[in-house]
């Protein structure tokens, strides 16, 4: 019969309207409280639609979410190297960056003029950054990571959108907070929470100490 | 034994031999290292092409593109990839011509689908296709100086031939490109270009040939005096799905002719791609068809893998990596079709209800993409010989300073439930909502019909081609990844109208769900296998050419990549061409619209399913 298709379609819309309210009733009063309510209303079992009231509410982004990169520095309360750069200014991120928005001035020892493993300056032009994540993927020292903060709009792009080293630097603890699993995996791959070079030096020192102990014990025996 | 009984069954090398026997002087093998196919003398090109189509059965011209070999062999080359719609590999043929006045006969008369692609090659390379019915610029504007894909052409913010640029490291004192090259002063015009034309709204080039300004008060066949009216639909119009313009000549309400105008979003993707390194291009492919970035990545990765596999020390992606690739691209197909059906219904006036229902499901898939690849749309997930990372154990968001609404799901459970229950349930419901709806049927049945022969001749692809009844799907015709071991059907239509396209897309979603159901157990089985690419960030890509193509949701997406590099030099593609399905499918827009009403144009365009990021590149 003509019109049947429309009528059956309208039933579907009615069902959808009802469903939206059904979830509201099921979670009545618990929209803003209660463990896991939000997850359930956004998950596979959710029925109807659920509006997140941005910007009053914001969905936490998953760990791997990538926006603008930041540079990892040692925590400011680190006992040995507070605020020390992890970046060695090796330049790999600048080379692998597709739109070429990373600018690095390699550090130099003022006396000898020889390069030192830390950047004198580090800039990212966030207008140009395409959020691809290559810099963090290919950095051999885990020194650059993708941040989660996506609210970067400003009124004047010419003054606010080239991030310098100071603006880019964030503590290691920030990375551990926004991406705990990934940070842990990286730690395991490195073999410790310290910078690769430090770990290597430590291992070297340990080996030397072991050797020294060994030869000492040989001599004494 | 009669070998020549059916020449349309001959394999590529036998076909080539047959052609060479007939034209021994005009055809030679392409013997360059890493290259394949034949080189045809331009003088004989039409005849050879006709024989390929009519005798050998290569009825489908997939891709036409130019290459400038400045400094290598100092000639221009036009590269053609022709296929049989019955399946099988490409017959690659090339025509070479000098750089100073490049001329090649047009093949529009043999394969009408060459129309836009030849115009593009003319626009970007300045190659004249003799005999082309309408050789105008297509992506760039009339006052543009030069042909940007020529190797000696430099763009407004030119810095260096190849990335990475030297200024970035070790002495990277930052500056903005526009500080060195002020905006407004970076534009060049041809010497004889009249700047006054920029303010001239008549655009005489375009309107010539539409029969305007000639005799607008002509008598039509009924003896009525009717005005022919030119209407510009777009470029800024919600129904054009982006910045796209259709110049329509109207006879009353009826379309007399339609000429698509595009290029408003042109950013010379291919030139950027040739400055880029091989790896740099991957995230750029996301920006082509931004609805289906996952499968864009895959096409390009396949093309570069073809090249890499010629070199030493290349190990192909693991089984799990292949499974993940198929998982992602099939989810992408669902995402894309949900989006396109939703918008088709919008175009039909069913404002936003079907769209938002579809989007509700799409969001769930995007949540999974975001948790796995790091982004919802610009996924950048595939890598050469692998993928970016394995799927996470949990789809998990962490509360931090900026945001507080937290979610936490087990990824495999999430996927299983989505594939086995949620998506099928939704598709059934959507089916009830739309498929039998009388208004939808009245607006779409019998509208915008594309006959199968035309669909093939016009090089259309994807759901548009299949809705016309041609069962051509790259996943089956020229399989890649693990598709040969998967069980799925190719839905086709009968009448080639909008309604059939609607049904084909719908069926394709169901088939994708079917594929996903087969992928899930494979993922369980291959748990723990390495998936990440071991190819370094500056892979040594051997010299040669490759054409990687995938069945994108919108149709056949192909990448023609040429590597010319000396092994120690810059690792950048010499040529990087994108065969964009949205762009080529638009060839059929004009013919499909003629005779219909203005309101139908919007729906017909919607049923092609274009995205301007890919059309304009
Ligand atoms: S790749 Fe890492 S260590 Fe090297 S310059 Fe970049 S951030 Fe620093
Ligand atoms: S995210 Fe990509 S574009 Fe942005 S700085 Fe890193 S490499 Fe460059």
Token representation of residue B593 = 């619209």
Whether residues A81 and A190 share a domain: the answer is yes
What homologous superfamily is domain B2-130 in, according to CATH?
A: NADH:ubiquinone oxidoreductase Nqo5 subunit (3.30.460.80)
The answer on pLDDT for B580 being more than 60 is: yes
Residue linked to tokens 């003509």? A2
Summarize the confidence of residues A154-174 as an average pLDDT: 88
Domain range enclosing A8:
1-59
Q: How far is the CA of B181 from the centre of ligand 1 (A)?
A: 29
B165 or B403: whose pLDDT is higher?
B165
Inspect the interface and report whether the beta carbons of B395 and A62 lie closer than 8 Å.
yes
A167 or B313: whose pLDDT is higher?
A167
Q: For all residues of chain B together, what is the average pLDDT?
A: 85
Q: Identify the residue whose C-alpha is closest to ligand 2 atom 4.
A: A129
Which pLDDT does position B1 carry in this prediction? 41
> Are both B2-130 and B269-589+599-616 of the same fold?
no
Whether residues A38 and A94 share a domain: the answer is no
pTM: 0.89
Instruction: Determine contact: B569 vs chain A, CB below 8 A.
Output: no
The answer on pLDDT for B323 being more than 60 is: yes
Whether residues A30 and A132 share a domain: the answer is no
Q: What is the 3-state secondary structure (H, E, C) of B183-201?
A: CCCCCCCCCCCCHHHHHCC
**Tens digit of each residue's pLDDT (9 = 90 or more) over B243-265:** 888 888 888 888 888 888 888 88
Nearest to A91 among B170, B405, B440 (CB): B170
How close B418 comes to chain A (CA, Å)?
A: 7
Q: How far is the CA of B434 from the centre of ligand 2 (A)?
A: 43
B314 or B491: whose pLDDT is higher?
B491
Which pLDDT does position B208 carry in this prediction? 56
Q: How far is the CA of B265 from the centre of ligand 2 (A)?
A: 23
A219 inside domain: no
Pick the CATH number of B269-589+599-616 from 1.10.645.10, 1.10.3470.10, 3.40.50.620, 1.20.1560.10: 1.10.645.10
Contacts of A158 in chain B (CB under 8 A): 176
Ligand 2 lined by A94 (C-beta under 6 Å): no
Ligand 2 lined by A87 (C-beta under 6 Å): no
Token representation of residue A210 = 């072991």
Summarize the confidence of residues B549-559 as an average pLDDT: 91
Which pLDDT does position B153 carry in this prediction? 87
Whether residues A41 and A109 share a domain: the answer is no
Whether residues A92 and A146 share a domain: the answer is yes
Whether residues A30 and A130 share a domain: the answer is no
How close B415 comes to chain A (CA, Å)?
A: 9
Instruction: Determine contact: B348 vs chain A, CB below 8 A.
Output: no
**CA-angle at A39, arms to A36 and A44, nearest 5°:** 130
Ligand 1 site residues, Cβ closer than 6 angstroms: A 87-93, 104, 139, 141, 143-144
CATH classification of the domain holding A94 = 3.30.70.3270
Which backbone phi and psi does B505 adopt, to 5 degrees? -60, -40
The answer on pLDDT for A60 being more than 90 is: no
- In this prediction, residue B73 has a pLDDT band, given cuts at 50, 70 and 90, of confident
CA distance linking residue A151 with residue A174, whole number of Å: 17
Ligand 2 lined by A99 (C-beta under 6 Å): yes
Whether residues A82 and A176 share a domain: the answer is yes
Whether residues A51 and A2 share a domain: the answer is yes
The answer on pLDDT for B190 being more than 90 is: no
State which ligand 1 atom lies nearest to the alpha carbon of A90.
Answer: 4
3-class DSSP state for residue B94? strand
Q: If you compute the radius of gyration of chain B from its CA atoms, what whole number of angstroms results? A: 25
State which ligand 2 atom lies nearest to the alpha carbon of A134.
Answer: 7
Per DSSP, B422 falls in state I
A217 inside domain: no
Whether residues A46 and A116 share a domain: the answer is no
Pairing of strands A69-73, A169-171: parallel
The answer on pLDDT for B99 being more than 80 is: yes
A142 inside domain: yes
Number of structural domains (chain A) is 2
Ligand 2 lined by A130 (C-beta under 6 Å): yes
ipTM summary value: 0.89
**What does the domain layout of chain B look like in residue ranges?**
2-130, 269-589+599-616
A113 inside domain: yes
The answer on pLDDT for B214 being more than 50 is: no
Q: Measured in Å, how far apart are chain A's first and last C-alpha atoms? A: 105
- In this prediction, residue B122 has a pLDDT band, given cuts at 50, 70 and 90, of very high
Residue linked to tokens 């499909």? B592
Whether residues A18 and A50 share a domain: the answer is yes
The CA-atom distances, in angstroms, between B44 and each of B104, B135, B363 are 10, 21, 53
The CA-atom distances, in angstroms, between B350 and each of A34, B20, B433, B439 are 38, 57, 11, 10
Q: How far is the CA of B586 from the centre of ligand 2 (A)?
A: 34
A216 inside domain: no
Whether residues A36 and A71 share a domain: the answer is no
Least confident of A117-126, B22-31, B77-86, B223-232: B223-232
């Amino acid at each position: 019969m003509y019109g049947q298709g429309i009528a059956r379609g309208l039933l579907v819309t009615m069902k959808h309207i009802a469903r939206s309210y059904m979830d509201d009733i099921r979670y009545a009063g618990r929209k803003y409280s209660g463990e896991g309510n939000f997850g359930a209303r956004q998950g596979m079992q959710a029925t109807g639609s659920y509006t997140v009231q941005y910007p009053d509410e914001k969905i936490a982004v998953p760990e791997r979410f990538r926006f603008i990169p930041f540079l990892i520095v040692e925590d400011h309360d680190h006992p040995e190297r507070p605020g020390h750069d992890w970046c060695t200014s090796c330049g790999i991120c600048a080379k692998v960056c597709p739109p070429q928005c990373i600018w690095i001035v390699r550090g130099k020892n003022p006396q000898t003029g020889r390069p030192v493993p830390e950047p004198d300056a580090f800039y990212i032009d966030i207008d140009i950054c395409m959020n691809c994540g290559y810099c963090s993927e290919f950095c051999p020292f885990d020194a650059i990571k993708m941040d989660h903060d996506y609210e970067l709009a400003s009124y004047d792009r010419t003054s606010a959108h080239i991030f310098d080293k100071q603006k880019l630097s964030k503590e290691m603890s920030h990375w551990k907070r926004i991406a705990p699993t990934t940070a842990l995996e990286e730690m395991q791959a490195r073999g410790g929470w310290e910078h690769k070079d430090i770990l290597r030096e430590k291992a070297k020192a340990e080996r030397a100490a072991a050797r020294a102990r060994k030869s000492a014990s040989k001599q004494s025996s | 034994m009669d070998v020549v009984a059916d020449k349309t069954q001959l394999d590529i090398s036998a076909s080539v031999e047959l052609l060479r026997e007939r034209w021994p002087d005009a055809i030679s093998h392409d013997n360059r290292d890493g290259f394949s196919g034949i080189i045809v003398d331009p003088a004989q090109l039409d005849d050879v092409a006709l024989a390929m189509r009519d005798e050998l059965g290569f009825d489908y011209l997939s891709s036409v593109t130019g290459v400038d070999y400045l400094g290598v062999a100092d000639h221009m080359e036009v590269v053609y990839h022709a296929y049989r719609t019955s399946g099988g590999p490409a017959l690659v043929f090339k025509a070479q011509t000098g750089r100073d006045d490049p001329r090649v006969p047009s093949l529009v008369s043999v394969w009408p689908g060459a129309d836009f692609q030849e115009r593009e090659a003319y626009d970007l390379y300045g190659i004249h296709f003799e005999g082309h019915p309408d050789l105008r610029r297509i992506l760039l504007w009339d006052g543009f100086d030069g042909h940007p894909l020529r190797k000696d052409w430099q763009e407004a913010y030119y810095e260096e031939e190849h990335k990475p640029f030297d200024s970035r490291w070790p002495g990277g004192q930052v500056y903005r490109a526009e500080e060195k090259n002020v905006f407004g002063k970076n534009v060049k015009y041809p010497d004889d270009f009249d700047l006054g034309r920029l303010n001239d709204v008549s655009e005489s080039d375009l309107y010539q040939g539409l029969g305007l300004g000639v005799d607008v008060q002509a008598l039509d066949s009924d003896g009525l005096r009717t005005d022919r009216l030119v209407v510009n639909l777009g470029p800024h119009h919600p129904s054009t799905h982006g910045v796209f313009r259709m110049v329509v000549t109207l006879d009353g309400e009826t379309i007399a002719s339609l000429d698509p105008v595009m290029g408003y979003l042109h950013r010379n993707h291919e030139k950027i791609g040739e400055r880029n390194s091989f790896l740099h291009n991957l995230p750029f492919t996301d920006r082509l068809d931004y609805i289906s970035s996952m499968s864009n990545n895959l096409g390009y990765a396949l093309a570069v893998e073809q090249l890499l596999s010629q070199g030493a020390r290349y190990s192909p992606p693991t089984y799990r990596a292949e499974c993940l690739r198929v998982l992602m691209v099939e989810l992408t197909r669902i995402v894309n079709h949900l989006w396109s059906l939703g918008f088709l219904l919008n175009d039909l006036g069913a404002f936003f209800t079907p769209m938002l229902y579809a989007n509700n499901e799409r969001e769930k898939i995007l949540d999974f993409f975001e948790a796995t690849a790091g982004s919802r749309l610009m996924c950048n997930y595939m890598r050469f010989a692998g993928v970016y990372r394995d799927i996470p154990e949990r789809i998990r968001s962490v509360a931090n300073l900026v945001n507080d609404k937290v979610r936490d799901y087990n990824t495999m459970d999430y996927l299983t439930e989505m594939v086995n229950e949620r998506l099928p349930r939704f598709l059934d419901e959507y089916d009830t909502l739309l498929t039998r709806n009388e208004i939808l049927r009245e607006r779409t049945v019998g509208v915008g019909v594309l006959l199968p022969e035309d669909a093939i001749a016009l090089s259309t692809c994807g759901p548009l081609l299949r809705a016309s009844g041609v069962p051509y799907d790259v996943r089956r015709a020229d399989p890649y990844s693990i598709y040969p071991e998967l069980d799925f059907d190719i839905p086709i239509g009968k009448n080639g109208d909008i309604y059939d396209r609607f049904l084909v897309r719908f069926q394709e979603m169901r088939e994708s769900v079917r594929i996903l159901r087969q992928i899930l157990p494979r993922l369980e089985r291959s748990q723990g296998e390495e998936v990440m690419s071991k190819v370094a960030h500056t892979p040594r890509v051997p010299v040669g050419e490759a054409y990687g193509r995938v069945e994108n949701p919108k149709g056949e997406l192909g990448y023609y990549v040429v590597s010319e590099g000396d092994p120690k030099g810059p690792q950048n593609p010499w040529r990087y061409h994108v065969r964009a399905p949205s762009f080529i499918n638009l060839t059929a827009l004009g013919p499909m619209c003629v005779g219909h009403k203005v309101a139908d144009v919007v729906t017909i365009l919607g049923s092609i399913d274009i995205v301007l990021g890919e059309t304009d590149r």
